[in-house]
Structure 1
């Protein structure tokens, strides 16, 4: 199978999986939007941003598990169970810490997001329910990462589809039928995350992972320092990098909140559409992680460059398609997620930005996959820091333009990431594959 076909065999199921994941947020915004209550819609937006900020910084659990599993496959390593056990142990420890810190993190997070009045009250109610899904979400990251690293992407897609069908059904039932409002949205998310874990557990059992994991737990080598070091090194760099990215998203939400409930609600709808495009294009990042990780494990420079080129070409083409769709239908799509005339007008006004972002972001997504797969997480962290600095400068300079300035600064963030990564890539390839 040539490299492009291998990429698409991984990227297409990953794209569909990510789109299914995005339906969580879109279904929530659609259901709460049917109530025509801008403060409630803004509360779900802020609550979702809080949970994104709290949990997304730990998405390195999935990313590092994909990379280490793929690298092991490239080396012909048969100890995949040890990788899964180590990552699962880290996720469980983090989940316990988050639960203990719950009474502090919720009010602090709402303060940082600038939530006030009715929006704060409703957002707090949403978070207090959804927070309990956090530890399960962390463990699901590890299980999904292990499956993707073993090229079991189609099985992951099936799990996401089932979980999302249930999620959407619960949104309709709890929000629109039972009238639970913001609380109903949170309960739907909690229930679907638990269902996802149950389905993944069934798949892991069928893959024979349970005996392998049980054996890995008992082996001393699983917990040896030299075996744990790669996991912690990757996780450390990815954690800080994700923390920077999440901080930029929270800053985006906080700045948008200064424009009032209508602007906040409009940005929330547009951001969900942006996340839809991001998760779609992220399929090529997942493909690059696996293929570049396998090439790195095998020490093959040619396989690495072929995989990267295939991901950039295919990802760029898909980014262009998404940009065209959003340019033509963006305002109509955004307007479908609210019945408030002011929110609909605001989404139409700022919709052109979500057509630009896929073109700017797709290269950085693919580079992220290649950097993680090869283990160049320290370099990826450095390029993210450069992009964040450019974002902060743009945010200050473009502040007079209001919400348009906010979206323009956000676009600078993604352009900066891609340019910085492209600049350091040749040197990294030369050093890592000097003997290939």
Structure 2
């Protein structure tokens, strides 16, 4: 949870710094640019999730030296995929930026500023992909304190750069994007140092030279996990982009207000994702060891503790969410809109926590096909609600967004018992 809070400071620092300028158009441009980058990169978050799952399952097998060897192979395979995707993204850059801005319906001065933001931050894409692999590998090995130290350091630098580039140098939107690019590069350097100290560089180099690392069965297993996680993340990202597009259609004030509330929701999401990460590791280890009792205990603990945290966050946002949202802008209209829609900020943590925890359970156990199916069903419901609730304006948009997460959890709960029985049929 602490690691994820540090991660959340990226978006919050950006939104606060640009909000000091009192320009709703600039704040809306950062929101659109951030959503574009989220949509572009988040679909590849499967690199992190699959690396966590495979590394944790190998730890659960408790096979001594062979575990170290297998984890080295997992690292080098995942990094090879990350580098290949990064190269493709850079080649596609001239076409991707224009198409993304058209999809988000960015127009006028806000489009130009959003384009500036994206062009600068786009270069951090390959670095972000490599960071996903390194973070996933360290989480799978339970090296969370190292990851926390890296996140805190990178974010302190990011905040300092936001203050200097935006408020002192006056670079505005370009300063926000430059701060993010620099902090991602620093994060890669720090993570690589930690991984090297773990002895993984030698393991990875040795694994890269072994023919067994590139065995067809192991590659197919990796690609099957990544395929399902990729498609599931595409659906989530599409939901987020539709959310941003609907807000943009309502004008820069509503878009800026939604951007503030969404960043605060992301803060709660990243907090609750701590339980998802724990479930990935603990359930993955239990599946690797073939121990059902251990799996059940880990899942119960994650659901109970995660539910308590979700309730606490909902209460906190219900009491102070409107005031907190108003601190991220000096524009009176944006402040008023943020307070009007803050009720949804209070509802989201409690409605979404079960889906986050069960995502961790499904990823750790390798049930990615089932997770994709439940996400597809929830997405269909979301699309229908966007149309049905359109007369309710921005409140209807937030209501559909909230139902998306609740429906995901309901679908996962329905298919879970059968998956558990099949996974531990011999236990």
TM band (smaller chain): over 0.9
Aligned twin of 2:148:
157
C-alpha distance in 2, partners of 1:102/1:399? 34
C-alpha distance in 2, partners of 1:202/1:209? 10
Q: 1:252 aligns with which of 230, 233, 243?
A: 243
C-alpha distance in 2, partners of 1:119/1:17? 33
Determine if the alignment matches structure 1 residue 78 to structure 2 residue 68.
yes
1:35 aligns to what SS in structure 2?
Answer: coil
Shift of 1:78: 2.6
1:217 aligns to what SS in structure 2?
Answer: helix
Aligned twin of 2:359:
368
Counterpart mapping for 1:50-65 below 5 A: 50-65=36-51
Aligned twin of 2:120:
129
Aligned twin of 1:408:
399
C-alpha distance in 2, partners of 1:114/1:23? 27
Aligned twin of 1:66:
52
Give the TM-score taking structure 1 as reference length. 0.96
Determine if the alignment matches structure 1 residue 273 to structure 2 residue 259.
no
Aligned twin of 2:212:
221
Shift of 1:189: 0.1
Counterpart mapping for 1:102-113 below 5 A: 102-113=93-104
Counterpart mapping for 1:28-67 below 5 A: 28-67=14-53
Q: 1:117 aligns with which of 101, 108, 117?
A: 108
Determine if the alignment matches structure 1 residue 26 to structure 2 residue 17.
no
Aligned twin of 1:317:
308
Shift of 1:280: 0.3
Q: Deviations over 1:4-27 (max 9, x none)?
A: xxxxxxxxxxx1111111100000
C-alpha distance in 2, partners of 1:408/1:214? 50
Conserved 8 A contact 2:68-2:203: no
1:402 aligns to what SS in structure 2?
Answer: helix
C-alpha distance in 1, partners of 2:195/2:235? 33
Aligned twin of 2:293:
302
C-alpha distance in 2, partners of 1:387/1:359? 17
The number of equivalent residue pairs is 422
C-alpha distance in 2, partners of 1:176/1:420? 46
2:21 aligns to what SS in structure 1?
Answer: coil
Shift of 1:435: 1.2
1:78 aligns to what SS in structure 2?
Answer: helix
Aligned twin of 2:92:
101
C-alpha distance in 2, partners of 1:181/1:83? 41
Shift of 1:29: 0.3
Shift of 1:311: 0.2
Q: Deviations over 1:394-425 (max 9, x none)?
A: 11111000000000000110010010000000
Shift of 1:75: 1.1
C-alpha distance in 2, partners of 1:204/1:301? 31
2:106 aligns to what SS in structure 1?
Answer: coil
Q: Deviations over 1:176-227 (max 9, x none)?
A: 0000000000000000000000001110111111111110011000011111
Shift of 1:64: 0.3
Aligned twin of 1:262:
253
C-alpha distance in 1, partners of 2:93/2:269? 29
Shift of 1:229: 1.5
Aligned twin of 1:420:
411
1:368 aligns to what SS in structure 2?
Answer: helix
Aligned twin of 1:208:
199
Aligned twin of 1:12:
none
Q: Which moved more, 1:65-74 or 1:201-210?
A: 201-210
1:337 aligns to what SS in structure 2?
Answer: coil
Give the TM-score taking structure 2 as reference length. 0.98
Q: Which moved more, 1:298-307 or 1:263-272?
A: 298-307
**In angstroms, what is the RMSD of aligned CA positions?**
0.5
Structure 2: tracts of 5 or more residues without a match: none
Aligned twin of 2:275:
284
Structure 1: tracts of 5 or more residues without a match: 1-14
C-alpha distance in 1, partners of 2:418/2:218? 27
Aligned twin of 1:241:
232
Shift of 1:362: 0.5
C-alpha distance in 2, partners of 1:296/1:130? 39
Conserved 8 A contact 2:49-2:136: yes
- Runs of 4+ deviating beyond 3 Å: none
Aligned twin of 1:345:
336
Counterpart mapping for 1:166-181 below 5 A: 166-181=157-172
Shift of 1:228: 1.1
